[in-house]
Amino acid sequence: MKAIRNIFEKTKPYVQKGAKYHWLHSVHDGFFTLFFVQKDTSKSGTHIKDYLDLKRTMAVVVFALVPALLMGIYNTGYQHYKAIGELATTGFFDICLFGLIKVVPFIIVSYVVGLGIEFVFAQYRGHEIQEGFLVSGFLIPLIMPVNTPLWMVAVATAFAVVFAKEVFGGTGMNIWNPALVARAFLFFAYPSHMSGDSVWISLKDTDKVVDGFTGATPMALAAAGTPDYSVMDAFIGLIPGSIGETSALAILIGAIILIVTGIGSWKIMVSTVAGGLFMGFLLQTFAVNEFMAIPAWHHLVLGGFAFGAIFMATDPVSAAQTSKGKYIYGFLVGVLAILIRVVNPAYPEGMMLAILLMNTFAPLIDYYVVEGNIKKRLKRATANA
């Protein structure tokens, strides 16, 4: 440990202002703070500070995402071997290995591209590397269909980091969730790679598929009027879908981690689910087709609803920030997601658009909550006067 520290301390003079390698100072600083919590102590205000910093916060979220990633890796292999009819003859490790080979490059591409841009911006602006992308970079692979070409992942990540985050001023300043912007970018720029029946399951041209194979997600089938899925499979995550979003079980474990540590807002999670159930129930009650008639709670385990409710809607920067605002924001995310999903034929999944839309309106919700607080204070003042 001392050896590592010595390396950083010895190289520090070379990246100081005016030194030869100053252009590397953000990178140096980024890695130094990653390895070592710095020795700076409180100069003003409180003399003790909480051990929780942004690195820890982001690490907790990444940790909460790990179950979803592991299930995603397994499911990628599972769907592949199921499609070619070799599931029964393939071992657990081979399934995982296949998934690993497919999924790990996504993560590498996302982090390399995203962090690269972050380093450049940090250097340009002269501030420390900020940790926000640690989570965004993990989210992006998990919301991509497994057949997305890696170059698309790179382009989408670059677009999201630059236009959804850095132009606003970096971590803490963005209006929309950067990971969802990456996904939305691909969704509108390359729609054929983001939906349809051929994007969810990794198959080579030479692979022969079994009879009756469609490759469509349960939701697409339901939307087409032929709901055909096992709720248990959908809950565990053994259905086609984006890499990390299929397993409601893994997402639930993540949700528990986020709620217990207090990092994720349970208010948003609960109200999103409530909103989804409310809309689902409403649609179910007035059902005119098969898709509308599926039980409201099925919506929670299908598509990206669970993943969005737990990991995307709760992004503290782009969500509503006031306590009351969170309930309203979450509820509307849930309502809109199911509404778009079921009623709008153009989009098979509504979660992404619902969250981006509510991200846009979150400041407005907060504005009215803050106004409420102001009015209460004003009323108190005039009542006393």
Residues that bind other proteins (CB under 8 A): 1, 4-5, 33, 35-42, 44-57, 59-60, 128, 130-132, 169-173, 260-263, 265, 284-285, 287, 293, 316-317, 319, 321-323, 326, 370, 373-374, 376-378, 380-381, 384-385
- What residues contact residue 237 under an 8 Å CB cut-off, 6+ apart? 71, 72, 75, 246, 247, 248, 249, 250
The residue among 20 and 379 lying less far from other proteins, judged by its C-beta, is 379
The residue among 132 and 240 lying less far from other proteins, judged by its C-beta, is 132
CA distances from 2 to 7, 8, 10, 15, 156 (A): 9, 10, 12, 20, 40
Instruction: Check if the beta carbon of residue 118 is closer than 8 Å to that of residue 137.
Output: no
Q: Which letter does DSSP use for residue 289 in this model?
A: S
Instruction: Check if the beta carbon of residue 235 is closer than 8 Å to that of residue 245.
Output: no
The residue type found at 180 is L
- Least distance from C-beta 29 to other proteins, angstroms? 9
- Least distance from C-beta 243 to other proteins, angstroms? 25
Instruction: Check if the beta carbon of residue 198 is closer than 8 Å to that of residue 145.
Output: no
- Least distance from C-beta 80 to other proteins, angstroms? 34
The residue among 263 and 351 lying less far from other proteins, judged by its C-beta, is 263
The residue among 55 and 193 lying less far from other proteins, judged by its C-beta, is 55
DSSP calls for 159-171: HIIIIIIGGGTST
Separation of alpha carbons 62 and 246, rounded Å? 17
- Least distance from C-beta 199 to other proteins, angstroms? 33
Instruction: Check if the beta carbon of residue 135 is closer than 8 Å to that of residue 107.
Output: no
* Packing angle of the helix pair 323-343, 266-285 (nearest 10 deg): 40
The residue among 101 and 374 lying less far from other proteins, judged by its C-beta, is 374
- Least distance from C-beta 124 to other proteins, angstroms? 17
Instruction: Check if the beta carbon of residue 237 is closer than 8 Å to that of residue 71.
Output: yes
Q: Among all chains, which residue has been given the structure tokens 């591409």?
A: 109
Instruction: Check if the beta carbon of residue 43 is closer than 8 Å to that of residue 30.
Output: no
- Least distance from C-beta 276 to other proteins, angstroms? 17
Separation of alpha carbons 237 and 225, rounded Å? 22
The residue among 1 and 346 lying less far from other proteins, judged by its C-beta, is 1
Separation of alpha carbons 106 and 138, rounded Å? 9
The residue among 156 and 317 lying less far from other proteins, judged by its C-beta, is 317
- Least distance from C-beta 277 to other proteins, angstroms? 14
The residue among 346 and 385 lying less far from other proteins, judged by its C-beta, is 385
- Least distance from C-beta 287 to other proteins, angstroms? 7
- Least distance from C-beta 149 to other proteins, angstroms? 32
Separation of alpha carbons 354 and 195, rounded Å? 17
Instruction: Check if the beta carbon of residue 328 is closer than 8 Å to that of residue 274.
Output: no
- Least distance from C-beta 380 to other proteins, angstroms? 6
The residue among 193 and 324 lying less far from other proteins, judged by its C-beta, is 324
The residue among 136 and 148 lying less far from other proteins, judged by its C-beta, is 136
- φ, ψ of residue 296 to 5 degrees: the values are -55, -40
